[in-house]
Amino acid sequence: MKALFASVGHIDHLVGAATGATRTTAPFMDQTDDQFRAAFDKFWGYTHVVRSGVPFLADNGSITLVSGTPARRCNPGMISVSCTGCAVEGLVRALAKELAPRRVNAVAPGIIDTPMFDHFGDKKAATMTAIGKGMPLGRVGLPEEVAEALILSMANHYMTGVVIDIDGGALLA
């Protein structure tokens, strides 16, 4: 990661959208310690990206990390995912103060129609439609809508320590 940043040099914005963590969705008491710990690989990925990237970040630059709605609305079986999101959002608030005047924010998507749901195969479209009917806006989100929030986080120079919810109103339901 450090070699990558060194090859790029100066950066204005750093966006972290960590993936690759093993997310076990099961009741807390049914998860092993190793399964629960594995969900935090996302968090450790963010800490590594931030530590590696900040030396190359402009003084008026920004960092945006991607969290998710489970950080504030945890459904049964999602505790490890929720705790990881809470840790990411706590990191954002702490870094916003520590790294100022650089801005640090988070974007928290809800259910977004991405390849993450491709495991539904031919039933993906119907499944996404059914999930969307339970949302106040009546549909799941699109990747482009998350991208718009990321751009807002980078473009607004008077916003730091903020979590932008892109969830179709799911937190209201």
Tens-digit pLDDT profile for residues 52-85: 999 999 999 999 999 999 898 888 888 988 999 9
SS3 assignment, position 39 = coil
- Average confidence score pLDDT of the chain: 93
**Residue 172 maps to a domain:** no
pTM: 0.91
Q: Give the integer Cα–Cα distance in Å for 61 and 81.
A: 29
* CATH code of the domain in which 65 resides: 3.40.50.720
**Residue 173 maps to a domain:** no
- Per-residue model confidence as pLDDT tens digits over 33-56: 998 888 888 899 999 999 999 999
Tell me the average pLDDT across 20-44. 85
Nearest residue to 84 (alpha-carbon basis) of 154, 25, 135, 161: 25
Task: Answer whether residue 125 shows pLDDT above 90.
Answer: yes
**Residue 27 maps to a domain:** yes
For residue 89, what pLDDT is reported? 96
**Residue 136 maps to a domain:** yes
Nearest residue to 66 (alpha-carbon basis) of 100, 98, 101, 105: 105
**CA separation, residue 125 to residues 70, 87, 128, 133 (Å):** 23, 32, 5, 12
**Residue 62 maps to a domain:** yes
